[in-house]
Chains A and B, each alone.
Chain A
Amino acid sequence: MVCTDNIDFTIPLQPAADRRMIKFVLMVNRQGQTRLSRYYHSVELSRRAALEADVVRYCLSRKKDQCSFVEYKDFKVVYRQYAALYIVVGITDSENELSIYELVHNFVEVLDKYFSRVSVYFSLQSELDIMFNLDRVHIILDEMIQNGHIVETNKSRILAPLTAIDKMVES
């Protein structure tokens, strides 16, 4: 048992930018329309739209063979394109970009497994899938990322609550 007496339990106040975390996850299509957004730090609604537009425009303007990590203002953006959809993740400076890059792919694989009708990652059909099942995509995302940290990466574990819900709805 660890002796807890000599541990200083004060948590120094840290500016949000300094924390190591995921700041937001966005899914946008080629037209720049947001299909899903999730923020892990509070951003005012009015500023969200401007931020999204800005980040998305920046990512869309980049060519396919350009680097997937972009420094944007005081944070970094990691994005990946799947057919018509872009997944854009905002992270703080000290987060490992590549791990997020891999996480995005993991997320897409989970989506693919759940919406098993589409074999090719993200066609137009799957964009509709995501829009119509926004709440479910949110559940998947919430299973993977919680308050800005990766919580689960195992596919079947991520989908377990969702399948349970589907069963409940059917019955």
Chain B
Amino acid sequence: MALKIVKGSIDRMFDKNLQDLVRGIRNHKEDEAKYISTCIDEIKQELKQDNIAVKANAVCKLTYLQMLGYDVSWAAFNIVEVMSSSKFTYKRIGYLAASQCFHENTDVIMLTTNQIRKDLSSPNQYDTGVALTGLSCFVTPDLARDLANDIMTLMSHTKPYIRKKAVLIMYKVFLKYPESLRPAFPRLKEKLEDPDPGVQSAAVNVICELARRNPKNYLSLAPLFFKLMTSSTNNWVLIKIIKLFGALTPLEPRLGKKLIEPLTNLIHSTSAMSLLYECVNTVIAGQYSCSVGSVCLRISVVKYLGLLAMSKILKTHPKSVQSHKDLILQCLDDKDESIRLRALDLLYGMVSKKNLMEIVKKLMIHVDKAEGTTYRDELLTKIIDICSQSNYQYITNFEWYISILVELTRLEGTRHGHLIASQMLDVAIRVKAIRAFAVAQMATLLDNAHLLTGNMQRNGICEVLYAAAWICGEFSEHLENPVQTLEAMLRPKVATLPGHIQAVYVQNAAKLFATILKNQEGNTDSTAAQETSQLMIDRLPLFVQSANLEVQERASCILQLVKYIQKLQQKDVEVAEEVSALFAGELNPVAPKAQKKVPVPEGLDLDAWINEPPSESESEDEQPKAIFTKEEPKHSRPRHTEVDEKELARRREARKQEQANNPFYIKASPSSQKVYQETPGVEHIPVVQIDLSVPLKVPGLPMSDQYVKLEEERRQKERAEKKKKEKKKRKEKRSGRGKKHDSGPESEEDITPAHVVDIVTEEMPENALPSDDDDKDPNDPHKVCDIQGNLQDGSQVVVSVIFENKSDSFLKSMEFNVLDSLNSKLQRPEGSGPHDGLTVPFQLPPGVSNEARFVFTVQSIVMPQKLKGTLTFIVKDSSTHEKLDFKLHFTCTSYLITTPCYSDAFAKLLESGDLKSSSVRLEGVNMPFHHLLARICFHHHFSVVERIDSCASMYSRSIQGHHVCLLVKTSGQTVSIDAKCDEPTLLGNVLDEIKQTFSQC
């Protein structure tokens, strides 16, 4: 017996403890796995012994091994044994091991329930503490159910150390066993006001987490949290509370107002960057009108988060971000890629006409410096994105843009050749004025093709040759030296390019050939023309041998053609005319939705069946076949004529009726549009209209930089001209405002683009116009207050606009402009363009309001309309141009005129049967009936015809003579309105508007 004890203690002396294990592993770097497996064998032996100290030591080592990635689940029972040791030093080792190794599916956890309960109620606070910590890691639904009561009792323990742990673990219990939340909640809430800050913070944590998913249930706690927010000094707790308020404010808008003050205080006082960041984030998310701009600067110390926050601010307060442009550009120099990418994202939203060139120039420098293709490619796409965004809105000089694109082709190893190519094509096709320049550039590119073809990667840079060849061919009349370009296109090296590019080369070589023939035939010397033909005949066979079908086919086709031409040339026959006829006709850009504008030819009913629909049983049988025959009907249109004349006339009538009622249909009545009806054809598809104010011709490959300079000069010139004009005006008017016009920084409005791209969307039918309601910024000091539509003869509408200056500065030179839609147009004085603004005939001192009237012509009145508009003005003190966007809302109601009507006329009208009826029910209207009627009369321009008890008939007329009749009945809180009108669309919209009026009260 004694021997055994001695043997045990000697064994223990030679046992390894954790330190030995760590050292051992470090000393056996070569055969670590082997060493560890012997250690595990030793540990298994140790676990078999009775001595708890040995076991605890073994478990401690196992914990270390588990961390290194070894599976120790086989020792789970031994861990439970050590957990149940009465000695705290061993017990904590057991719990630690359990918290690291156990998970929900460990079956021995069932055995621990009683042990944990015993530990929870232990008089030693550390026993309880360690049990709670352990439990938080491996609590299962069963454990949660069994122990919920015990933990709840601990929440009121005398020791704060236990209380805080118990509170926090309750969150885990709630998740595993949701039934426990109801009984525990009052106590949890109590803990928010615990004298101990640790317990408080734990309770805040738990409630914040609970509230995040279900915020409205916790609104009642808001005052408590508000108190905590102003009193707590623990940053981590404050962050949680602010996050909670972030979730609560959308539900209770009043909370937002209350929060502004403490949040601003925190923003200005805290030294903790994390808290500052959280506050700013909440401010941004809640869109409180806070001094966000100043905060950005402080936050930008932490670049990544600063940029992240800025991108959020950009959406709401673009101006305040734009002032930090330099800072953001600096971030592009950062070594960290994620920062650079964030900065790039920001730049996208920041460009304007004024700074585009500058920003792109900086980006180009970065492209040259950039290491790693991914980032460089990202830069490339961003440059193109920035330039081409919203229809090249910010580009004022397209020659500059083309040279940027050409410069980009010199990038090695980019994958975005395709993107560059499509941009080149797009610009060359849509901006007519740029074509000569583009062709010159592309010719140079083709000439230097060998520089690009090194990269044969798919989508590689050689894709631009596709665009270059096409542009040179299509617009070959602009080429200076077409023979040289033709020669470049037929070089043997071309055969190494991808097939689809070769095909374009061959085809466009033919186009070039046609142009050259045309040029040379005028000359007396016919040898030059024959030499060109010979060149084609010499070079084309190379392409005829191509493995690519398309290339082969085109090449052999063209080769035969050229051979034939050569024969004719030798007989001195003039062929140029005929050859160029092959490629006659100019390619014009077409808006994507232009098809809609082509009127349907008279007599074609698109809805009519061309072939009688097959009977159902048949179609079921031949389901798969139908897929292939689907396209067929299109080709067999002529059959349509078989429909007999009468039927046709009837349909035509019906369609006309429908068109007349459709506000989106372009009607035949206005004289300018009549032409459409008579000669339907491609000529009326909207095409690009370009005018070029300053033609520039720069030979060779120019650097984009020189354009920046040129552009500067151009703008300077323009500015000078403008100033001259202004001076003249001032003289004429003798307006002694005394203040000289500041020639300092030019504002956005001053820059007129050198080339204009068609804004294709403007050509669309009005339903393509975007519309959103929340456009009016309630915080804007210069607010257009009230817009009323008054009515005049026919379909002219007078809109009186009240301008109120809510700012502190004097506003002058106001210009009112509206983006016309097809349906409604602002009437402008004769001689002014269709997009010119109207000058508001007065100036506004601070706090003053005044009214101006504008006349609109309206075609159809059956639909409500929203017109977008802008008001530009000059703030006198700072001499800055400001812009204010607004929307004019033409409701259908505003087209109604209060017209009295007698009851007998009213009855006749209803009997006539011409009117379509519709009805609407309003629930929960809590007002006397006569108030209700007064409201309809006032807001919707109706007059009461007759009233009997709780029933009334009402009448109104539209400016185009539509009759609108209402029968209003009320019972209790329900109001039903039966309505009749000869225009169902108008009626529907008027009823909707009435409904809205009552839903607001």
**Interface, chain A (partner B; CB < 8 A):** 1-4, 6-12, 14, 19-20, 34, 36-38, 40, 42, 45, 48-49, 62-63, 65-67, 69-71, 94, 96-99, 101-103, 128, 131-132, 134-135, 138-139, 142, 146-147, 149-154, 157, 160-161, 164-165, 168-169
Contact = CB atoms under 8 A, between A and B. Distances in A.
Given A9-B181, A20-B212, A135-B96, A67 B272 contact: no
Contact of A67 (B89, B275, B338): B338
Interface string B629-647: 0000000000000000000
B267 interface: no
B210 A142 contact: no
A19 to B, nearest CB: 7
A165 B89 contact: yes
A114 B372 CA distance: 45
Interface stretch (B164-172, B456-464, B898-906): B164-172
Interface stretch (B5-13, B67-75, B257-265, B963-971): B67-75
Interface string B210-234: 1011100110110000000000001
Given A132-B18, A134-B63, 13 more contacts: A9-B182, A9-B185, A48-B69, A49-B69, A65-B335, A67-B338, A69-B304, A98-B272, A103-B236, A135-B96, A152-B164, A165-B88, A165-B92
A45 B69 contact: yes
Contacts of A42: 103-104
A74 to B, nearest CB: 16
Interface residues of B, number: 73
B126 A1 contact: no
Interface string B186-199: 10010000000010
B214 A165 contact: no
B239 A99 contact: yes
Contact of B278 (A11, A96, A168, A169): A96
A148 to B, nearest CB: 9
A1 B190 CA distance: 9
A42 B99 CA distance: 11
Given A97-B305, A165-B92, A36 B129 contact: no
A63 B126 CA distance: 42
Interface in B57-106: 60, 63-64, 66-69, 71, 88-89, 92-93, 96, 99-100, 103-104
21 contacts: A7-B218, A7-B220, A11-B175, A11-B213, A12-B214, A20-B212, A20-B243, A34-B69, A62-B336, A65-B335, A70-B338, A99-B235, A99-B275, A102-B235, A134-B18, A134-B60, A134-B64, A146-B132, A151-B165, A165-B88, A169-B89
Given A146-B165, A147-B171, A165 B126 contact: yes
Interface of A is mostly: mixed
B338 A34 contact: no
A4 B185 contact: yes
A10 B302 CA distance: 39
B205 interface: yes
B339 interface: yes
B398 interface: no
Contacts of B392: none
B303 interface: yes
Given A11-B178, A45-B69, A149-B205, A101 B274 contact: yes
B126 A164 contact: yes
A165 B90 CA distance: 11
Contacts of A147: 136-137, 168-169, 171-172
A81 B174 CA distance: 36
Interface of B: 18-19, 22, 60, 63-64, 66-69, 71, 88-89, 92-93, 96, 99-100, 103-104, 126, 129, 132-133, 136-137, 161, 164-165, 168-169, 171-172, 174-175, 178, 181-182, 185-186, 189, 198, 201-202, 205, 209-210, 212-214, 217-218, 220-221, 234-236, 239, 243, 272-275, 277-278, 302-305, 335-336, 338-339
Contact of A12 (B68, B168, B213, B277): B213
A146 B136 contact: yes
B359 to A, nearest CB: 23
Given A63-B335, A69-B304, A165-B88, A2 B220 contact: yes
A132 B165 CA distance: 27
B302 A98 contact: yes
B153 to A, nearest CB: 19
Instruction: Name the residue among A2, A37, A96, A157 with the largest chain B CB count within 10 angstroms.
Output: A96
A14 B69 CA distance: 29
A152 B165 CA distance: 10
A45 B106 CA distance: 13
Contacts of A97: 274, 277, 305
Contacts of B103: 42
Nearest to B304: A67
A38 B239 CA distance: 24
B236 A135 contact: no
A65 B69 CA distance: 31
Contact of A2 (B60, B221, B235): B221
Given A49-B69, A99-B274, A164-B126, A132 B19 contact: yes
A103 to B, nearest CB: 7
Contacts of A1: 186
Contacts of B69: 34, 45, 48-49
B181 A135 contact: no
Contacts of A67: 303-304, 336, 338-339
Nearest to B198: A152
Contacts of B234: 153
A104 B61 CA distance: 26
B274 A98 contact: yes
B239 A96 contact: yes
Instruction: Name the residue among A4, A70, A103, A164 with the largest chain B CB count within 10 angstroms.
Output: A4
A66 to B, nearest CB: 4
Contacts of B63: 134-135
A49 to B, nearest CB: 4
Contacts of B186: 1-2, 4
Closest 4 CB pairs of A and B: A98-B274, A99-B274, A147-B136, A66-B336
B303 A151 contact: no
B178 A154 contact: no
A161 B161 contact: yes
A30 B218 CA distance: 46
A7 B185 contact: yes
Contact of A34 (B22, B68, B161, B213): B68
Contacts of B99: 142
Given A4-B185, A69-B304, A96-B243, A135 B93 contact: yes
B178 A7 contact: no
Contacts of B235: 99, 102
A109 B213 CA distance: 34
A160 B164 contact: no
Given A11-B213, A12-B213, A146-B165, A102 B274 contact: yes
B137 A151 contact: no
A26 B193 CA distance: 34
Contact of A151 (B202, B213, B217, B220): B202
A61 B492 CA distance: 47
B174 A11 contact: yes
Given A67-B304, A151-B165, A139 B92 contact: yes
B171 A20 contact: no
Nearest to A153: B236
B214 A45 contact: no
A2 B190 CA distance: 9
B209 A132 contact: no
A169 B88 CA distance: 9
Contacts of A38: 100
Contacts of A49: 69
Contacts of B185: 4, 7, 9
Nearest to B181: A9
Given A135-B60, A149-B168, A10 B214 contact: yes
A29 B169 CA distance: 32
A138 B129 contact: no
